[in-house]
A = this chain, B = another copy of it.
Protein backbone atom coordinates (compact mmCIF):
# COMPACT_ATOMS: atom_id res chain seq x y z
CA UNK A 1 0.00 0.00 0.00
CA UNK A 2 1.59 3.23 -1.17
CA UNK A 3 1.12 6.34 0.89
CA UNK A 4 0.66 8.39 -2.23
CA UNK A 5 -2.70 8.64 -3.90
CA UNK A 6 -3.29 9.14 -7.59
CA UNK A 7 -7.03 9.79 -7.40
CA UNK A 8 -8.70 12.86 -8.89
CA UNK A 9 -8.65 14.63 -5.53
CA UNK A 10 -4.96 13.91 -5.01
CA UNK A 11 -3.24 16.81 -3.30
CA UNK A 12 -6.31 18.08 -1.49
CA UNK A 13 -5.97 18.11 2.28
CA UNK A 14 -9.09 17.49 4.35
CA UNK A 15 -9.23 18.26 8.06
CA UNK A 16 -11.97 15.99 9.35
CA UNK A 17 -13.62 16.85 12.67
CA UNK A 18 -16.56 14.53 12.09
CA UNK A 19 -17.63 11.53 14.10
CA UNK A 20 -20.06 8.63 13.92
CA UNK A 21 -21.67 8.34 10.49
CA UNK A 22 -22.69 11.12 8.10
CA UNK A 23 -19.45 13.07 8.33
CA UNK A 24 -17.08 10.10 8.33
CA UNK A 25 -18.92 8.72 5.28
CA UNK A 26 -18.43 12.05 3.49
CA UNK A 27 -14.73 12.23 4.26
CA UNK A 28 -14.17 8.55 3.45
CA UNK A 29 -15.56 9.14 -0.03
CA UNK A 30 -13.22 12.13 -0.42
CA UNK A 31 -10.39 9.84 0.68
CA UNK A 32 -11.49 7.10 -1.71
CA UNK A 33 -11.26 9.69 -4.49
CA UNK A 34 -7.68 10.46 -3.50
CA UNK A 35 -7.86 13.30 -0.99
CA UNK A 36 -5.64 13.21 2.09
CA UNK A 37 -8.04 12.98 5.02
CA UNK A 38 -6.74 13.87 8.46
CA UNK A 39 -9.22 12.63 11.03
CA UNK A 40 -8.98 14.66 14.20
CA UNK A 41 -10.15 12.57 17.12
CA UNK A 42 -10.70 13.37 20.77
CA UNK A 43 -8.49 11.40 23.17
CA UNK A 44 -11.15 8.67 23.47
CA UNK A 45 -11.59 8.46 19.71
CA UNK A 46 -14.60 8.37 17.44
CA UNK A 47 -17.26 6.43 19.41
CA UNK A 48 -17.78 4.07 16.45
CA UNK A 49 -14.35 2.56 17.20
CA UNK A 50 -16.10 0.82 20.11
CA UNK A 51 -19.27 -0.19 18.25
CA UNK A 52 -20.32 -3.36 16.48
CA UNK A 53 -18.77 -6.81 16.62
CA UNK A 54 -15.00 -6.71 17.10
CA UNK A 55 -12.49 -8.62 14.97
CA UNK A 56 -9.30 -9.08 16.97
CA UNK A 57 -10.31 -6.04 19.00
CA UNK A 58 -11.10 -3.88 15.96
CA UNK A 59 -14.52 -2.64 14.84
CA UNK A 60 -15.54 -3.59 11.32
CA UNK A 61 -18.26 -0.94 11.57
CA UNK A 62 -15.54 1.68 12.06
CA UNK A 63 -13.56 0.22 9.14
CA UNK A 64 -16.58 0.66 6.87
CA UNK A 65 -16.48 4.42 7.40
CA UNK A 66 -12.82 5.23 7.96
CA UNK A 67 -10.55 3.62 5.40
CA UNK A 68 -8.23 6.02 3.58
CA UNK A 69 -7.77 8.33 6.56
CA UNK A 70 -4.98 9.33 8.94
CA UNK A 71 -5.78 9.74 12.62
CA UNK A 72 -4.52 12.57 14.82
CA UNK A 73 -5.57 12.78 18.46
CA UNK A 74 -6.07 16.37 19.49
CA UNK A 75 -7.85 17.75 22.55
CA UNK A 76 -9.96 20.59 21.22
CA UNK A 77 -11.18 21.49 24.72
CA UNK A 78 -7.75 23.01 25.38
CA UNK A 79 -6.66 26.35 23.91
CA UNK A 80 -3.35 24.83 22.85
CA UNK A 81 -5.24 22.08 21.04
CA UNK A 82 -7.26 24.65 19.18
CA UNK A 83 -4.04 26.45 18.28
CA UNK A 84 -2.80 23.24 16.66
CA UNK A 85 -6.08 22.96 14.75
CA UNK A 86 -5.65 26.54 13.52
CA UNK A 87 -2.24 25.59 12.23
CA UNK A 88 -3.66 22.59 10.35
CA UNK A 89 -6.52 24.61 8.90
CA UNK A 90 -4.21 27.36 7.67
CA UNK A 91 -2.61 24.83 5.31
CA UNK A 92 -5.64 22.73 4.41
CA UNK A 93 -8.12 22.85 1.55
CA UNK A 94 -11.20 21.47 3.23
CA UNK A 95 -12.68 21.27 6.73
CA UNK A 96 -15.59 18.91 7.37
CA UNK A 97 -17.63 18.85 10.59
CA UNK A 98 -20.92 17.38 11.76
CA UNK A 99 -21.41 19.09 15.09
CA UNK A 100 -24.73 20.68 15.91
CA UNK A 101 -25.07 24.11 14.24
CA UNK A 102 -23.23 26.78 16.22
CA UNK A 103 -20.75 24.45 17.92
CA UNK A 104 -17.84 25.25 15.62
CA UNK A 105 -18.47 28.96 16.16
CA UNK A 106 -18.39 28.49 19.94
CA UNK A 107 -15.05 26.72 19.56
CA UNK A 108 -13.65 29.83 17.88
CA UNK A 109 -13.91 28.52 14.33
CA UNK A 110 -16.87 30.48 13.01
CA UNK A 111 -17.13 31.43 9.37
CA UNK A 112 -15.39 34.81 9.76
CA UNK A 113 -12.52 33.38 11.80
CA UNK A 114 -11.95 30.56 9.32
CA UNK A 115 -12.11 32.86 6.35
CA UNK A 116 -9.51 35.12 7.94
CA UNK A 117 -7.31 32.14 8.79
CA UNK A 118 -7.50 30.64 5.31
CA UNK A 119 -9.63 32.33 2.64
CA UNK A 120 -9.25 29.31 0.36
CA UNK A 121 -10.69 26.90 2.93
CA UNK A 122 -13.88 25.06 1.99
CA UNK A 123 -15.96 24.34 5.07
CA UNK A 124 -18.38 21.45 4.84
CA UNK A 125 -21.05 20.99 7.52
CA UNK A 126 -23.54 18.18 7.92
CA UNK A 127 -26.39 18.41 10.40
CA UNK A 128 -29.94 17.26 10.97
CA UNK A 129 -32.22 20.14 10.08
CA UNK A 130 -29.92 22.89 8.74
CA UNK A 131 -28.42 25.89 10.49
CA UNK A 132 -31.44 28.19 10.15
CA UNK A 133 -35.08 27.73 11.13
CA UNK A 134 -37.06 26.81 14.22
CA UNK A 135 -35.55 23.31 14.67
CA UNK A 136 -31.94 24.44 14.52
CA UNK A 137 -31.24 23.39 18.11
CA UNK A 138 -32.92 20.00 17.94
CA UNK A 139 -30.72 16.95 18.23
CA UNK A 140 -30.77 14.85 15.07
CA UNK A 141 -30.55 11.17 14.35
CA UNK A 142 -31.06 9.10 11.22
CA UNK A 143 -34.34 7.52 12.36
CA UNK A 144 -35.75 10.95 13.23
CA UNK A 145 -34.71 12.46 9.92
CA UNK A 146 -36.42 9.56 8.13
CA UNK A 147 -39.58 10.34 10.12
CA UNK A 148 -39.54 14.13 9.76
CA UNK A 149 -38.64 14.19 6.04
CA UNK A 150 -41.67 12.21 4.87
CA UNK A 151 -39.39 9.40 3.65
CA UNK A 152 -40.66 6.98 6.29
CA UNK A 153 -44.33 7.92 6.08
CA UNK A 154 -44.62 6.69 2.48
CA UNK A 155 -42.94 3.33 3.20
CA UNK A 156 -44.80 0.24 4.38
CA UNK A 157 -47.98 -1.69 3.81
CA UNK A 158 -51.23 0.24 3.38
CA UNK A 159 -52.67 -1.44 6.48
CA UNK A 160 -49.46 -1.42 8.50
CA UNK A 161 -47.38 1.27 10.20
CA UNK A 162 -45.00 3.61 8.39
CA UNK A 163 -41.69 1.81 8.01
CA UNK A 164 -38.16 3.16 8.32
CA UNK A 165 -35.38 1.93 6.06
CA UNK A 166 -32.98 -0.19 8.12
CA UNK A 167 -29.96 1.35 6.39
CA UNK A 168 -29.16 4.83 7.77
CA UNK A 169 -30.13 6.56 4.54
CA UNK A 170 -30.47 10.08 5.90
CA UNK A 171 -26.95 10.03 7.33
CA UNK A 172 -25.40 8.55 4.24
CA UNK A 173 -27.28 10.50 1.59
CA UNK A 174 -26.32 13.69 3.45
CA UNK A 175 -22.72 12.47 3.46
CA UNK A 176 -22.68 11.92 -0.30
CA UNK A 177 -24.35 15.27 -1.00
CA UNK A 178 -21.82 17.00 1.24
CA UNK A 179 -18.93 15.35 -0.60
CA UNK A 180 -20.46 16.51 -3.88
CA UNK A 181 -20.96 20.08 -2.65
CA UNK A 182 -17.40 20.19 -1.36
CA UNK A 183 -15.87 18.92 -4.60
CA UNK A 184 -18.02 21.38 -6.57
CA UNK A 185 -16.69 24.15 -4.32
CA UNK A 186 -13.16 22.98 -5.17
CA UNK A 187 -14.01 23.46 -8.86
CA UNK A 188 -15.47 26.90 -8.09
CA UNK A 189 -12.33 27.84 -6.18
CA UNK A 190 -10.21 27.34 -9.28
CA UNK A 191 -11.91 30.41 -10.70
CA UNK A 192 -12.70 32.51 -7.65
CA UNK A 193 -9.61 31.74 -5.60
CA UNK A 194 -11.85 31.53 -2.57
CA UNK A 195 -13.36 28.82 -0.43
CA UNK A 196 -16.94 28.85 0.81
CA UNK A 197 -19.30 27.05 3.16
CA UNK A 198 -21.17 23.91 2.09
CA UNK A 199 -24.00 22.68 4.27
CA UNK A 200 -26.21 19.62 3.97
CA UNK A 201 -29.02 18.69 6.34
CA UNK A 202 -30.14 15.08 6.70
CA UNK A 203 -33.83 15.96 6.44
CA UNK A 204 -33.27 18.04 3.30
CA UNK A 205 -31.34 15.22 1.65
CA UNK A 206 -34.23 12.80 2.06
CA UNK A 207 -36.81 15.38 0.95
CA UNK A 208 -34.86 15.62 -2.31
CA UNK A 209 -35.39 11.88 -2.91
CA UNK A 210 -39.19 11.84 -2.75
CA UNK A 211 -39.44 12.01 -6.55
CA UNK A 212 -42.98 11.38 -7.86
CA UNK A 213 -44.30 11.17 -4.32
CA UNK A 214 -43.60 14.88 -3.88
CA UNK A 215 -44.51 15.91 -7.41
CA UNK A 216 -47.88 14.15 -7.10
CA UNK A 217 -48.45 15.88 -3.77
CA UNK A 218 -47.64 19.28 -5.30
CA UNK A 219 -49.85 18.62 -8.33
CA UNK A 220 -52.87 17.19 -6.49
CA UNK A 221 -52.57 18.38 -2.88
CA UNK A 222 -53.24 14.77 -1.86
CA UNK A 223 -50.98 12.78 0.44
CA UNK A 224 -49.81 9.58 -1.29
CA UNK A 225 -50.96 6.36 0.35
CA UNK A 226 -48.57 3.64 1.40
CA UNK A 227 -48.63 0.82 -1.16
CA UNK A 228 -46.16 -1.66 0.35
CA UNK A 229 -44.27 -3.44 -2.39
CA UNK A 230 -46.88 -2.71 -5.03
CA UNK A 231 -46.46 0.18 -7.43
CA UNK A 232 -48.93 2.99 -6.69
CA UNK A 233 -49.85 3.41 -10.35
CA UNK A 234 -49.36 0.15 -12.27
CA UNK A 235 -50.25 -3.53 -11.90
CA UNK A 236 -49.04 -6.32 -12.14
CA UNK A 237 -45.85 -5.24 -10.37
CA UNK A 238 -44.27 -6.42 -7.12
CA UNK A 239 -43.44 -9.76 -5.52
CA UNK A 240 -44.63 -13.04 -7.03
CA UNK A 241 -44.22 -16.55 -5.72
CA UNK A 242 -42.16 -19.22 -7.47
CA UNK A 243 -41.73 -22.83 -6.31
CA UNK A 244 -38.83 -21.94 -4.00
CA UNK A 245 -39.48 -18.33 -3.01
CA UNK A 246 -40.52 -14.95 -4.31
CA UNK A 247 -39.14 -12.78 -7.07
CA UNK A 248 -39.58 -9.06 -7.60
CA UNK A 249 -40.89 -8.01 -11.01
CA UNK A 250 -41.06 -4.42 -12.25
CA UNK A 251 -43.49 -4.22 -15.16
CA UNK A 252 -43.14 -0.48 -15.28
CA UNK A 253 -45.01 0.04 -18.55
CA UNK A 254 -47.21 -1.84 -21.02
CA UNK A 255 -44.40 -2.94 -23.32
CA UNK A 256 -42.59 -4.70 -20.49
CA UNK A 257 -45.83 -6.05 -19.06
CA UNK A 258 -46.60 -7.63 -22.43
CA UNK A 259 -43.20 -9.39 -22.41
CA UNK A 260 -43.87 -10.58 -18.86
CA UNK A 261 -47.31 -11.96 -19.58
CA UNK A 262 -46.20 -13.55 -22.86
CA UNK A 263 -43.40 -15.35 -21.02
CA UNK A 264 -45.99 -16.73 -18.60
CA UNK A 265 -48.34 -17.71 -21.47
CA UNK A 266 -50.75 -15.12 -20.13
CA UNK A 267 -50.48 -12.82 -23.14
CA UNK A 268 -54.27 -12.95 -23.58
CA UNK A 269 -54.67 -10.85 -20.41
CA UNK A 270 -53.69 -7.68 -22.26
CA UNK A 271 -56.64 -7.93 -24.64
CA UNK A 272 -59.22 -9.53 -22.36
CA UNK A 273 -61.98 -6.96 -21.78
CA UNK A 274 -61.68 -7.55 -18.01
CA UNK A 275 -58.00 -6.52 -17.94
CA UNK A 276 -57.29 -4.51 -21.09
CA UNK A 277 -56.31 -1.29 -19.35
CA UNK A 278 -54.02 -0.50 -16.45
CA UNK A 279 -57.02 0.92 -14.60
CA UNK A 280 -58.90 -2.38 -14.91
CA UNK A 281 -55.79 -4.32 -13.89
CA UNK A 282 -55.32 -2.14 -10.81
CA UNK A 283 -58.89 -3.00 -9.75
CA UNK A 284 -58.32 -6.70 -10.47
CA UNK A 285 -55.06 -6.84 -8.49
CA UNK A 286 -55.97 -9.85 -6.37
CA UNK A 287 -57.33 -11.90 -9.28
CA UNK A 288 -54.26 -11.20 -11.40
CA UNK A 289 -51.88 -11.84 -8.52
CA UNK A 290 -53.39 -15.30 -8.01
CA UNK A 291 -53.30 -16.05 -11.72
CA UNK A 292 -49.64 -15.06 -12.01
CA UNK A 293 -48.60 -16.86 -8.83
CA UNK A 294 -50.33 -20.01 -10.11
CA UNK A 295 -48.11 -19.96 -13.21
CA UNK A 296 -44.94 -19.05 -11.36
CA UNK A 297 -45.39 -21.72 -8.71
CA UNK A 298 -44.49 -24.43 -11.20
CA UNK A 299 -40.87 -23.30 -11.56
CA UNK A 300 -37.97 -22.03 -9.47
CA UNK A 301 -36.73 -18.48 -8.92
CA UNK A 302 -33.67 -19.20 -11.06
CA UNK A 303 -35.84 -20.44 -13.91
CA UNK A 304 -37.96 -17.30 -13.95
CA UNK A 305 -35.03 -14.93 -13.43
CA UNK A 306 -33.28 -16.48 -16.40
CA UNK A 307 -36.13 -16.35 -18.86
CA UNK A 308 -37.69 -13.09 -17.69
CA UNK A 309 -34.40 -11.19 -17.71
CA UNK A 310 -33.67 -12.60 -21.18
CA UNK A 311 -37.07 -11.37 -22.30
CA UNK A 312 -36.17 -7.87 -21.06
CA UNK A 313 -38.36 -7.90 -17.95
CA UNK A 314 -36.64 -6.25 -14.96
CA UNK A 315 -36.75 -8.81 -12.17
CA UNK A 316 -34.66 -10.11 -9.31
CA UNK A 317 -34.59 -11.85 -5.97
CA UNK A 318 -34.96 -10.04 -2.65
CA UNK A 319 -31.46 -11.05 -1.67
CA UNK A 320 -30.37 -11.37 1.93
CA UNK A 321 -26.87 -10.16 2.74
CA UNK A 322 -25.44 -13.65 2.44
CA UNK A 323 -26.76 -13.83 -1.11
CA UNK A 324 -25.64 -10.27 -1.90
CA UNK A 325 -22.07 -10.77 -0.74
CA UNK A 326 -21.81 -14.11 -2.54
CA UNK A 327 -23.43 -12.84 -5.72
CA UNK A 328 -21.07 -13.30 -8.71
CA UNK A 329 -22.13 -9.89 -10.01
CA UNK A 330 -21.18 -8.20 -6.75
CA UNK A 331 -17.84 -10.00 -6.93
CA UNK A 332 -17.32 -8.95 -10.56
CA UNK A 333 -17.98 -5.35 -9.51
CA UNK A 334 -15.55 -5.69 -6.57
CA UNK A 335 -18.18 -4.47 -4.17
CA UNK A 336 -16.51 -6.34 -1.32
CA UNK A 337 -12.90 -5.42 -0.67
CA UNK A 338 -10.30 -6.14 1.96
CA UNK A 339 -8.98 -3.29 4.04
CA UNK A 340 -6.26 -3.49 6.66
CA UNK A 341 -6.30 -1.78 10.01
CA UNK A 342 -3.09 0.08 10.77
CA UNK A 343 -1.35 -2.37 13.13
CA UNK A 344 -4.34 -4.69 13.03
CA UNK A 345 -6.27 -7.31 11.08
CA UNK A 346 -7.60 -7.06 7.56
CA UNK A 347 -11.39 -7.02 7.32
CA UNK A 348 -14.00 -6.90 4.57
CA UNK A 349 -15.82 -3.67 3.75
CA UNK A 350 -18.11 -2.61 0.90
CA UNK A 351 -16.24 -1.57 -2.25
CA UNK A 352 -16.27 1.68 -4.20
CA UNK A 353 -19.56 2.59 -5.89
CA UNK A 354 -17.90 5.24 -8.08
CA UNK A 355 -15.91 3.53 -10.84
CA UNK A 356 -13.41 5.89 -12.47
CA UNK A 357 -11.73 4.64 -15.64
CA UNK A 358 -8.32 6.34 -15.46
CA UNK A 359 -7.80 6.97 -11.74
CA UNK A 360 -9.93 4.42 -9.89
CA UNK A 361 -10.73 4.69 -6.21
CA UNK A 362 -8.43 2.50 -4.16
CA UNK A 363 -7.13 1.87 -0.67
CA UNK A 364 -4.16 4.18 -0.21
CA UNK A 365 -4.37 4.40 3.59
CA UNK A 366 -5.41 1.75 6.10
CA UNK A 367 -8.12 2.17 8.70
CA UNK A 368 -6.17 4.35 11.11
CA UNK A 369 -5.12 3.40 14.60
CA UNK A 370 -6.28 6.09 17.07
CA UNK A 371 -3.62 8.78 16.88
CA UNK A 372 -1.59 6.57 14.58
CA UNK A 373 -0.25 9.51 12.59
CA UNK A 374 -0.37 12.32 15.13
CA UNK A 375 3.39 12.82 15.05
CA UNK A 376 3.78 12.41 11.29
CA UNK A 377 0.97 14.82 10.43
CA UNK A 378 1.99 17.53 12.87
CA UNK A 379 5.55 17.30 11.65
CA UNK A 380 4.38 17.64 8.04
CA UNK A 381 2.43 20.76 9.03
CA UNK A 382 5.60 22.29 10.37
CA UNK A 383 5.52 21.63 14.11
CA UNK A 384 8.95 21.02 15.54
CA UNK A 385 9.96 17.87 17.42
CA UNK A 386 10.11 19.84 20.65
CA UNK A 387 6.63 21.34 20.08
CA UNK A 388 5.27 17.85 19.49
CA UNK A 389 7.01 16.45 22.56
CA UNK A 390 5.62 19.27 24.67
CA UNK A 391 2.08 18.75 23.36
CA UNK A 392 2.36 15.01 24.04
CA UNK A 393 3.67 15.68 27.51
CA UNK A 394 0.74 17.96 28.25
CA UNK A 395 -1.72 15.40 26.82
CA UNK A 396 -3.01 17.88 24.23
CA UNK A 397 -2.12 15.35 21.56
CA UNK A 398 -1.49 11.63 21.80
CA UNK A 399 -0.12 8.96 19.56
Contacts and interface: CB of A to CB of B under 8 A. Distances in A.
Interface stretch (A177-185, A369-377, A391-399): A177-185
Q: Which one of A54, A219, A231 has the highest number of Cβ atoms from chain B below 10 Å of its Cβ?
A: A219
Interface stretch (A74-82, A268-276, A277-285, A343-351): A343-351
Interface stretch (A83-91, A128-136, A292-300, A381-389): A128-136
A201 B352 CA distance: 11
Interface string A308-335: 0100111111111111110111111101
A288 interface: no
Contacts of A160: 157, 160
Contacts of A357: 111, 196-199
Interface in A129-188: 129-130, 132-135, 137-157, 160-169, 171-174, 176-181, 183-188
Q: Which one of A192, A206, A212, A352 has the highest number of Cβ atoms from chain B below 10 Å of its Cβ?
A: A212
Contacts of A144: 248, 250, 314-316
A206 B318 CA distance: 13
A275 to B, nearest CB: 21
A289 interface: no
Contact of A333 (B191, B201, B256, B335): B201
A4 interface: no
A231 B164 CA distance: 10
